[in-house]
C-alpha cells in the first residue's frame, strides 16, 4: 500500500505530510513489539508511554514511515491531529474494511457482554456458521484461541482479526466493546450489523469521571451501525437512546410490557433459567442452563439480535438450551457437594452485578449464603463501599478479601469496602484470598451456599505489574475441599 492511498482517507486529520506519497509500506503497527520490514508505525502519547520517543529504535526495527501527533526530526512522517482516530482509519483501510463482508455483532454494557457474545458464538456454531469472537475471557479467531489483556483489543488487532476471519472463510465477528475502547476510538471505523446494550450501571468512573460520561461513551456505539444495522437495547435505556439517535433501527428487550421482546415468568434453579418471551413472532418459551434471572436479559438480547437479522427464532431458542455458559460466570463447583454445600464462582465485581447474582443465589439457598469478595485495585474507588453495602445487605456472612490489588495496598482496599458494610451485618476481613475461601468453607454447614465473587475465570491474582500469582478461584476451592476431606476436617455429608 502507498502513502497516497491513506492520505485520502485521513483527509481532515492531516496537519502535515513530510514524506513521498509514492512511499510503500506493507505492514502497520502501533506497538513496538509488533513490527516488520517496511512498517507504517503510528505513534501516540498514551496514558503510560509515548512512542514518539522511540522512533529511532522503531526505524532500526523496520518502520519506514510514521504517523505522528508531534513532529519528529528525521524519518518520513505524516502529522495528524489524533493518532487514535488515525489508527482506526488506517487499520480499516489497510485490511480492506473487513467488517463490510462479515456479520458484525458488538455488545457493550456494564455487565453481560461476555455472556452475550459467547452465547452468540455458540448459536452461530450450532447453525454450522464459522466465525470469530473477542472479549474478556478469550479471543477465538476461527478456532485460534488466545487470551488478550484487553476486553476490546486495539483498532489494528481487531481489523487484523477480522481480516484473518474472512481469509479463513468466516462469516461473522462478535465482540465485547468496552467503554474504554469506545472512548479511545479502538472501534471507531468498524460498522456493525447489530449493536447490543446490556445495561448501564456504575463502573469505571475512575476513567470516565462521571456516570454521564460513562453512559455517553457506551451510547457512542449506536453511531457505528451499518446503514441497515439494528440496535438491541435494554428497555430501561430506550428513551435515552431514542432521544440521542432519532433515526436508527432499534428493538428493546426487558420486563416492561411495551418492550419489543417482553421477558416474563422467569424462574431460575440449580439446573438453569426458564422464562417466557413475547416476541414479534409470538410467545416463546426459553430454557437455558445459565443460572440467574439476569441471564434472561442476556439471552433475550442475543435471541432478538439474531431474529432481527433473519434467523429463525425457534431454531435460535432451541440452540440457547445447549449453551453451558462462560468460565467463571455463575460457575458451580461440583466437588462442593461432597461437603453438602454449593460453591459458585462468579465474575461479579460491580454493585449491580453483585446484587443480581446474590439475589439469584438467595432464592436457591436453603441455608445461609456466605459471600467471599473484594474490590479490584486501580478501578473506581467509589464503588467499593457500595459493594460492601450490597453484599452485607443480602448475604448471611460477608468475607472481604483481596481481589486484584494492581499496585494498591490490599488492606486499604479492604477498608474502603468495609466502610459500606451494613451495621450489625456478620462480616470478616481476611487479606489472604485462599485463607478467606478456606474460612468460608470451614464456616459452611450443610445446605449453605458460598459465592466466590469478583475474579471469575481469571488465572492470576495481580498484585502489581511485576507480581502476578497463579490463582484460579475454582481450583483453589477444589484444593481446599479435598484437603478438608483428607484431613477429616469436613466429613462427607
Ligand atoms: C488506560 C488504557 O485504556 N490504556 C489502553 C491504551 O493504551 P494507551 O493509549 O494508554 O497507550 P500506552 O499504553 O500509554 O502506550 C502508548 C503507545 O505506545 C505504544 N507502546 C507502548 C509501550 C511499548 O513498549 N511500546 C509501544 O509501542 C502503545 O502500543 C501505544 O500505541 O490502548 C492500548 C492499546 O489498545 C491498551 O492496551 C491499553 O489498555 C491498558 C493495558 C488497560 O489496562 N486498559 C484498561 C483500562 C481497559 O482498556 N479496559 C477495558 C475493559 C474495562 C472493563 O470492562 O473491565 C478493555 O477494553 O480492556
Ligand atoms: N445482564 C446482567 N445484569 C447484571 N449483572 C449481570 C448481567 N449479566 C451478568 N451479570 C453479572 O456480571 C458478571 C459479569 O458478566 P459478564 O462477564 O457476562 O459481563 P461483562 O460485561 O463481560 O463483564 P466485564 O466487562 O467485566 O468483562 C457476571 O458474573 C454476573 O455476576
What proportion of the chain, given as a percentage, has pLDDT over 70? 99
> What pLDDT, on the 0 to 100 scale, is given for residue 246?
81
Atom number of ligand 1 nearest to Cα 153: 35
Measure 20 CA to ligand 1 centroid, in angstroms: 31
> What pLDDT, on the 0 to 100 scale, is given for residue 491?
65
**For 27-63, how does the pLDDT look when each residue is reduced to its tens digit (9 = 90+)?**
999 999 999 999 999 999 999 999 999 999 999 999 9
Per the structure, the count of domains in the chain is 3
CB 110 within 8 A of CB 350: yes
Is the residue at 432 inside a domain? yes
Tell me the CATH number at 30: 3.40.1390.10
Q: Does 187 share its domain with 205?
A: yes
pTM for the model: 0.95
Measure 150 CA to ligand 1 centroid, in angstroms: 8
pLDDT band at 316 (very low <50, low <70, confident <90, very high): very high
Measure 119 CA to ligand 2 centroid, in angstroms: 13
**For 230-246, how does the pLDDT look when each residue is reduced to its tens digit (9 = 90+)?**
999 999 999 999 988 88
CB 29 within 8 A of CB 35: yes
pLDDT band at 492 (very low <50, low <70, confident <90, very high): low
Q: What is the 3-state secondary structure (H, E, C) of the chain?
A: CEHHHHHHHHHHHEEEEECCCCCECCEEECCCCCCCCCEEEECCECCCCEHHHHHHHHHHHCEEEEEECCCCCCCCEEEECCHHHHHHHHHHHHCCCHHHHCEEEEEECCCCHHHHHHHHHHHHHHCCCCEEEECCCCEEECCEEECCCCCCCCHHHHHHHHHHHHHCCCCEEEEECCHHHHHCCCCCCCCEEEEEECCCCCCCHHHHCCHHHHHHHHHHHHHHEEEEEEEEEEHHHHHHHHHHCCCCEEEEEECCCCCCEEEEEEEEECCEEEEEEEECCEEEEEEECCCCCHHHHHHHHHHHHHHHCCCCHHHHHHHHCCCCCCCCCCEECHHHHHHCCEEEEECCCCHHHHHHHHHHHHHHCCCCEEEEECCCCCCCCCHHHHHHHHHHHHCCEEEECCCCCCCCCHHHHHHHHHCCCCCCCCEEECCCHHHHHHHHHHHCCCCCEEEEECCCCCCEEEEECCEEEECCHHHHHHHHHHHHHHCCCCCCC
Is the residue at 492 inside a domain? no
Which of 61, 89, 117 is where one domain is finished?
Answer: 89
Which of 72, 89, 106 is where one domain is finished?
Answer: 89
Q: Does 125 share its domain with 270?
A: yes
Atom number of ligand 2 nearest to Cα 118: 18
Q: Which among 353, 354, 390 is the best mutation to test ligand 2's pocket, defined by most ligand atoms within 8 Å of the CB?
A: 353
Q: Does 166 share its domain with 139?
A: yes
Task: List, in order, residues 6 or more apart from 486 with CB less than 8 Å away.
Answer: none
Is the residue at 491 inside a domain? no
- Indicate which residue's Cα is closest to atom 1 of ligand 1: 47
Q: Does residue 195 carry a pLDDT above 60?
A: yes
Q: Does 248 share its domain with 183?
A: yes
> What pLDDT, on the 0 to 100 scale, is given for residue 208?
76
Q: Does 312 share its domain with 351?
A: no
Distance separating alpha carbons of residues 403 and 237, to the nearest angstrom: 31
> What pLDDT, on the 0 to 100 scale, is given for residue 154?
98
Is the residue at 230 inside a domain? yes
Tell me the CATH number at 105: 3.40.1190.10
| Among the bound ligands, the one closest to the CA of 327 | 2
Distance separating alpha carbons of residues 64 and 228, to the nearest angstrom: 39
Q: Does 248 share its domain with 163?
A: yes
Is the residue at 27 inside a domain? yes
Name the grid cell of 414. 479492604
| Among the bound ligands, the one closest to the CA of 293 | 2
* 228 or 379, which is more confident: 228
Which of 320, 344, 379 is where one domain is finished?
Answer: 320
pLDDT band at 465 (very low <50, low <70, confident <90, very high): confident
Three-point CA angle 232, 272, 147, nearest 5°: 65
CB 231 within 8 A of CB 248: yes
Atom number of ligand 2 nearest to Cα 456: 29
Nearest in space to 354 (alpha carbons), one of 111, 178, 107: 111
Measure 351 CA to ligand 2 centroid, in angstroms: 11
Distance separating alpha carbons of residues 267 and 409, to the nearest angstrom: 41
Phi and psi angles of residue 193, each rounded to the nearest 5 degrees, phi first:
-70, -40
Is the residue at 326 inside a domain? no
Q: Does 356 share its domain with 301?
A: no
Q: Does 191 share its domain with 70?
A: no
Q: Does 111 share its domain with 260?
A: yes
Distance separating alpha carbons of residues 300 and 6, to the nearest angstrom: 41
pLDDT band at 325 (very low <50, low <70, confident <90, very high): very high
Is the residue at 325 inside a domain? no
Whether ligand 1 lies within 6 angstroms of the CB of 151 is answered as yes
Q: Which domain holds residue 77?
A: 3-89
Q: Does 82 share its domain with 157?
A: no
Ligand 2 pocket at CB < 6 A: 109, 111-115, 136, 151, 176, 198-199, 294, 297-298, 329, 346-348, 352-353, 356-357, 456
Q: Does 370 share its domain with 391?
A: yes
Is the residue at 166 inside a domain? yes
pLDDT band at 205 (very low <50, low <70, confident <90, very high): confident
Length of the chain: 493
Q: Does 80 share its domain with 106?
A: no
CB 225 within 8 A of CB 189: no
pLDDT band at 346 (very low <50, low <70, confident <90, very high): very high
Tell me the CATH number at 466: 3.90.190.20
Distance separating alpha carbons of residues 400 and 370, to the nearest angstrom: 11
Task: List, in order, residues 6 or more apart from 73 with CB less than 8 Å away.
Answer: none
Binding-site members are: 32, 109-115, 150-152, 178, 184, 186
Whether ligand 1 lies within 6 angstroms of the CB of 108 is answered as no
Amino acid at each position: 500500500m502507498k502513502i497516497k492511498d491513506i492520505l485520502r482517507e485521513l483527509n481532515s486529520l492531516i496537519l502535515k505530510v513530510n514524506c513521498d506519497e509514492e512511499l510503500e509500506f506493507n505492514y502497520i503497527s502501533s506497538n513496538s513489539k509488533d513490527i516488520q520490514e517496511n512498517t507504517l508505525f503510528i505513534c501516540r502519547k498514551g496514558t503510560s508511554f509515548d512512542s514518539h520517543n522511540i522512533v529511532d529504535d522503531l526505524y532500526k526495527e523496520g518502520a519506514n514511515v510514521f504517523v505522528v501527533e508531534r513532529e519528529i526530526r528525521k524519518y518520513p512522517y505524516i502529522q495528524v491531529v489524533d493518532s487514535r482516530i488515525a489508527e482506526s482509519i488506517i487499520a480499516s483501510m489497510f485490511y480492506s474494511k473487513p467488517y463490510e463482508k462479515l456479520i458484525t455483532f458488538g455488545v457493550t454494557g456494564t455487565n453481560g457482554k461476555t455472556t452475550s457474545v459467547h452465547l452468540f458464538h455458540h448459536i452461530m456454531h450450532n447453525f454450522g456458521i464459522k466465525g470469530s469472537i473477542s472479549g474478556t475471557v478469550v479471543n477465538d479467531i476461527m478456532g485460534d484461541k488466545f487470551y488478550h489483556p484487553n476486553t476490546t483489543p486495539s483498532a489494528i488487532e481487531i481489523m487484523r482479526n477480522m481480516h484473518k476471519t474472512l481469509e479463513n472463510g468466516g462469516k461473522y465477528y462478535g465482540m465485547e466493546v468496552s467503554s474504554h475502547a469506545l472512548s479511545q476510538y479502538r472501534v471507531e471505523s468498524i460498522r456493525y450489523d447489530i449493536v447490543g446494550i446490556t445495561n448501564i450501571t456504575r463502573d469505571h468512573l475512575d476513567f470516565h469521571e462521571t456516570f454521564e460520561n460513562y453512559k455517553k461513551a457506551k451510547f457512542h456505539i449506536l453511531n457505528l451501525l451499518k446503514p441497515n444495522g439494528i440496535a438491541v437495547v435494554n428497555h430501561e435505556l430506550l428513551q435515552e437512546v431514542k432521544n440521542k439517535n432519532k433515526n436508527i433501527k432499534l428493538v428493546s428487550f426487558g420486563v416492561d410490557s411495551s418492550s419489543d421482546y417482553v421477558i416474563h415468568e422467569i424462574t431460575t434453579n440449580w439446573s438453569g433459567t426458564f422464562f417466557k418471551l413475547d416476541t414479534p413472532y409470538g410467545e416463546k418459551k426459553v430454557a437455558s442452563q445459565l443460572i440467574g434471572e439476569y441471564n434472561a436479559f442476556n439471552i433475550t438480547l442475543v435471541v432478538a439480535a439474531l431474529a432481527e437479522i433473519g434467523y429463525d427464532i425457534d431454531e435460535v431458542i432451541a440452540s440457547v438450551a445447549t449453551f453451558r455458559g462462560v468460565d467463571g460466570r455463575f460457575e458451580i463447583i461440583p466437588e462442593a457437594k461432597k461437603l453438602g454445600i454449593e460453591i459458585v464462582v462468579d465474575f461479579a465485581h460491580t454493585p449491580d452485578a453483585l446484587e443480581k447474582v446474590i439475589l439469584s443465589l438467595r432464592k436457591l439457598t436453603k441455608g445461609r449464603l456466605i459471600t467471599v469478595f473484594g474490590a479490584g485495585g486501580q478501578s473506581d474507588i467509589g464503588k467499593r463501599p457500595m459493594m460492601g453495602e450490597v453484599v452485607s445487605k443480602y448475604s448471611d456472612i460477608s468475607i472481604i478479601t483481596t481481589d486484584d490489588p494492581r499496585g494498591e495496598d490490599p488492606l486499604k482496599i479492604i477498608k474502603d469496602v468495609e466502610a459500606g458494610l451494613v451495621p450489625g451485618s456478620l462480616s470478616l476481613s481476611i487479606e489472604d484470598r485462599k485463607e478467606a475461601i478456606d474460612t468460608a468453607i470451614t464456616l459452611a454447614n450443610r445446605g449453605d451456599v458460598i459465592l466466590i465473587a469478583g475474579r471469575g475465570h481469571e488465572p492470576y491474582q495481580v498484585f502489581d505489574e511485576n507480581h502476578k500469582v497463579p490463582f484460579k478461584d475454582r481450583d483453589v476451592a477444589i484444593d481446599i475441599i479435598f484437603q478438608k476431606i483428607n484431613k477429616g476436617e469436613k466429613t462427607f455429608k
